[in-house]
Copies of this chain bind each other. A is one copy, B any other.
Amino acid sequence: MKKLINSPENVVREELEGLQLAHADRLRVSFDPFYVVRRDAPVKGKVGLLSGGGSGHEPLHGGFVGPGMLDAACPGHVFTSPTPDQMFEAGKAIHSGTGVLQIVKNYTGDVMNFDLAAEMLREEGIAVESVLTDDDVAVEDSLYTAGRRGVGLTVLMEKLLGAAAQKGMPLDQLKALGDKIRASGRSMGMALTPCTVPHLGKPSFELAENEMEVGIGIHGEPGRKRMPLTSADQITEMLMEPVISDLPFRKGDQVILFVNGMGGTPLIELYIVYRKAAEIAARHGLTISRNLVGSYITSLEMAGASITMLRADDALLDLWDAPVNTPALRWGA
A268 touches B15 (CB 8 A): yes
A56 vs B267: C-alpha distance in the bound complex, in angstroms? 9
Chain A 271-283, CB-CB to B under 8 Å as 1, else 0, gives 1111100100000
Q: Are B5 and A269 in contact (CB under 8 A)?
A: yes
| A266 on the B face (CB < 8 A) | yes
Interface residues of A in 281-313 (CB under 8 A from B): 291, 293, 295, 298, 300-301, 303-305
**Cα of A304 to Cα of B2 in the assembled complex, Å:** 9
Q: Are A5 and B231 in contact (CB under 8 A)?
A: yes
Interface residue range, chain A: 35 or more
Is the beta-carbon distance between B303 and A273 smaller than 8 angstroms? no
Tell me whether A193 and B232 are in contact (CB under 8 A): no
Interface class of chain A by DSSP: mixed
A209 interfacial by beta-carbon distance below 8 Å? yes
Query: Which of B2, B192, B293, B305 is within 8 Å of A229, CB to CB?
Result: B2
Q: Complex formed: what's the CA distance from A278 to B22 in Å? A: 8
Q: Does any Cβ of B come within 8 Å of A263's Cβ? A: yes
Given A22-B293, A278-B21, A291-B22, A5–B272 Cβ distance below 8 Å?
A: yes
Which residues of A approach B to under 8 Å, CB–CB? 2-7, 11, 14-19, 21-22, 55-56, 58-59, 63, 192-193, 209, 212, 229, 231-233, 235, 263-275, 278, 291, 293, 295, 298, 300-301, 303-305, 325, 327-328, 330-333
